[in-house]
Amino acid sequence: MSMTLDIGADLNDEDETGFVWTFLDEAVDPSVIVPGAIILAGDPDDPAVVQVVDLEERPAGTIVHLRPLPGRFEDYETFVRRLQPSPERA
């Protein structure tokens, strides 16, 4: 399955909130990075399905806090494929 990350992140990098964090400018399309959104984050070798917790303005830029969802990326593959349009649904 080919994939495009929504936002780059080091999934092992937590801040004082206990959440994974990254900068909003790492997003491919910042408009999809909103609290509650379920997105794909990490890096191409280690992607994860995550939920956006919040966005926090800081002097260095907007911080995005992420909550990794349980399981491996591959566990969500069937779900993601189901969401993609097929010729029958188009």
73 within a domain of the structure (yes/no):
yes
For 55-58, which contacts have Cβ atoms below 8 Å and span 24 or more sequence positions? 55/24
36 within a domain of the structure (yes/no):
yes
What are residue 53's phi and psi, to 5 degrees? -85, -55
The per-residue pLDDT of the chain, averaged, comes to: 88
Task: Write the pLDDT tens digit of every residue in 31-69.
Answer: 999 999 999 999 988 889 999 999 999 999 999 999 999
Based on the number of CB atoms within 10 Å of its own CB, is 22 exposed (0-12), middle (13-18) or buried (19 or more)?
Answer: buried
Residue 79: other Cβ atoms inside 10 A: 10
Output the pLDDT for position 86: 64
75 within a domain of the structure (yes/no):
yes
**Total number of domains constituting the chain:** 1
**1 has pLDDT over 60:** no
Q: Could you tell me where the beta strands, DSSP code E, fall in the chain?
A: 7-8, 20-23, 38-43, 46-58, 61-68
89 within a domain of the structure (yes/no):
no
